[in-house]
């Protein structure tokens, strides 16, 4: 189904993991104006278990989502009658969590006879940079670095995503969580390690920069691996008897954070230079890390690259980025989804256009 570009106000829901989020956004003269957004975090509850418990996440989405929708509509000054389209994340993510947001959005769309857009979660993250004061112009290279994904994606035109690099094991965010656990830090690990690393010496410990071997010899130049780094951190931790030493913990955290940041930045810049891509974009939850933001900006500039960072507020999962993705698709007349579209725990970003086909792919 295709709709004209007069559609300009979108209500979006994001429930792919452990954040319940709702936003309303309007397009005004080519600019995206966020009218209201709210996030109900489940971090405190899941921190008891050291990670996300899918059943708990789904139950909490179900409990809070109706109230979030009403609060956001009220705060935005909109009613459901002034909404032009409704969007929700449909892939990838936790199946039960995705279903809560998708069913809610599709029910509202059917009741009020509105177009529905099923948004790919990673397309949402890629669209978060559009919420900055100075959004990039195509083409550009994106470093998507989050709890579940570490990928280098070339974007030549909106909707055309080409992956140039990826992690072969844990995503960077997962590595932060697991190393934080080794250091006795709380979940989520990224913010905890970043805070501790502020007082640490990042040069105290030498740690490996994981590389991925090719079968035919050599290494994949733009790919990532964090398994060896995690093992090295485990060995370091096991070699010390007194992990209560704050200086030691801070140095371990700083050394780990620094090597992850160096790997991410160096391979991203190498990829951009090799592929003659002049603009770099960085999005995803780990993109909120201050050391990573500074190093990407500084080294990008030193190599003659234009660098664009998603606003820190919209790096972690949120519904504003889902609004932005939906609005961009509607503005470009790229179509809406079938009301029968389901959800998928795994669906490649390269197939995101299929979410707007009929019949629905799942």
Cα 200 to Cα 205: distance, rounded to the nearest angstrom: 11
2 within some domain: no
Best CA proximity match to 165, nearest among 125, 203, 122, 212? 212
Q: Are residues 159 and 257 in the same domain?
A: yes
The per-residue pLDDT for 334 is 85
Identify which of 327, 244, 297 has the alpha carbon closest to the alpha carbon of residue 23: 327
- Return the SS3 of 111: helix
Q: Which domain holds residue 209?
A: 138-309
Residue 25 lies in a domain: yes
Residue 164 shares a structural domain with residue 287 = yes
* Domain identity same for 162 and 197: yes
Could you tell me the CA-to-CA distances from 124 to 196, 278, 316 in Å, in that order? 30, 22, 11
Same domain, 115 and 154: no
| Tokens describing residue 150 | 């570490």
Q: What is the pLDDT of residues 293-302, one digit of tens each?
A: 999 999 999 9
Beta strands in 272-332 (DSSP E): 279-283, 306-309
Q: How many CA atoms lie within 13 A of 117 on its CB side?
A: 34
Mean pLDDT (the chain) is 95
Measured CA to CA, the distance from residue 140 to residue 97 in angstroms comes to 31
Percentage of the chain surpassing pLDDT 70?
Answer: 98
Q: What is the pLDDT of residues 71-84, one digit of tens each?
A: 999 999 999 999 99
* Residues 91 and 161 placed together within one structural domain of the fold: no
Residues 116 and 201 in one domain: no
Give the DSSP letter of residue 154: E
Any domain includes 182? yes
256: helix, strand or coil: helix
Look at residue 329 and tell me if it is in a domain: yes
Please report the pLDDT score of residue 47 as a whole number: 86
Same domain? For 264 and 327 the reply is no
Residue 11 pLDDT greater than 90, yes or no: yes
In a domain, 3, yes or no: no
CA–CA dist 236, 177 (Å, integer): 17
pLDDT reading at 2 higher than 80: no
Q: What is the pLDDT of residues 145-183, one digit of tens each?
A: 999 999 999 999 998 999 999 999 999 999 999 999 999
Question: Over the stretch 82-98, which tens digit does the pLDDT of each residue have?
Answer: 999 999 999 999 999 99
Q: What is the mean pLDDT of residues 33-37?
A: 98
Instruction: Looking at the structure, tell me whether residues 301 and 327 fall in a common domain.
Output: no
**E strands along 4-133, which residues?**
9-14, 19-28, 31-41, 85-91, 116-120
Q: Are residues 147 and 101 in the same domain?
A: no
Domain co-membership, 144 together with 101: no
Q: Per the domain annotation, does 1 fall within a domain?
A: no
Say whether both 22 and 85 belong to one domain: yes
Same domain for 43 and 144, yes or no, is: no
pLDDT of residue 50: 84
Tell me the CATH number at 233. Answer: 3.30.420.40
Confidence bin at 319 (pLDDT 50/70/90):
very high
Q: At 3, is the pLDDT very low, low, confident or very high (cuts 50, 70, 90)? A: very low
How many domains in the chain? 2
Rounded to whole angstroms, the Cα distance separating 312 from 194 reads 14
* 362 within domain boundaries: no
Cβ proximity of 48 and 122 under 8 Å: no
């Amino acid at each position: 189904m295709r709709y004209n570009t007069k559609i300009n106000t979108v209500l979006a829901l994001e429930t792919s993991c452990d954040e319940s989020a709702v936003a309303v956004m309007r397009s005004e003269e080519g600019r995206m104006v966020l009218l209201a957004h709210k996030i109900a975090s489940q971090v405190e509850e899941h921190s008891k278990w050291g990670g996300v418990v899918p059943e708990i996440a789904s139950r909490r989405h179900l409990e809070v989502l109706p109230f979030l929708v009403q609060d956001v509509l009220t705060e935005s000054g909109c009613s459901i009658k002034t909404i032009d389209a409704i969007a929700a994340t449909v892939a990838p993510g936790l199946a039960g969590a995705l279903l809560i947001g998708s069913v809610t959005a599709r029910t509202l769309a059917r009741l009020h006879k509105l177009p529905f857009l099923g948004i790919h979660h990673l397309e949402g993250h890629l669209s978060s940079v559009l919420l900055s004061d100075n959004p990039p112009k195509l083409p550009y290279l994106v470093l998507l670095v989050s709890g579940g994904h570490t990928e280098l994606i070339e974007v030549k035109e909106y909707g055309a995503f080409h992956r140039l690099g990826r992690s072969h094991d844990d995503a960077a965010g997962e590595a932060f969580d697991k190393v934080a656990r080794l250091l006795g830090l709380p979940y989520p690990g990224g913010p905890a390690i970043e805070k501790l690393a502020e007082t640490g010496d990042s040069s105290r410990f030498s740690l490996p920069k994981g590389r991925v071997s090719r079968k035919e010899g050599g290494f994949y130049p733009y790919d990532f691996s964090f398994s060896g780094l995690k093992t090295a951190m485990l060995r370091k931790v096991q070699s010390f008897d007194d992990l209560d030493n704050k200086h030691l913990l801070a140095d371990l955290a700083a050394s780990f954070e620094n090597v992850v940041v160096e790997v991410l930045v160096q391979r991203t810049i190498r990829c951009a230079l090799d592929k003659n891509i002049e603009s770099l974009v960085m999005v995803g939850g780990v993109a909120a890390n201050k050391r990573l933001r500074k190093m990407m900006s500084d080294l990008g500039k030193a190599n003659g690259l234009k660098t664009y960072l998603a606003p820190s507020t919209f790096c972690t999962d949120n519904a504003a980025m889902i609004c932005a993705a939906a609005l961009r698709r509607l503005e470009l007349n790229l179509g809406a989804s079938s009301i029968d579209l389901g959800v998928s725990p795994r669906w490649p970003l390269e197939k995101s256009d299929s979410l707007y086909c009929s019949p629905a792919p799942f």
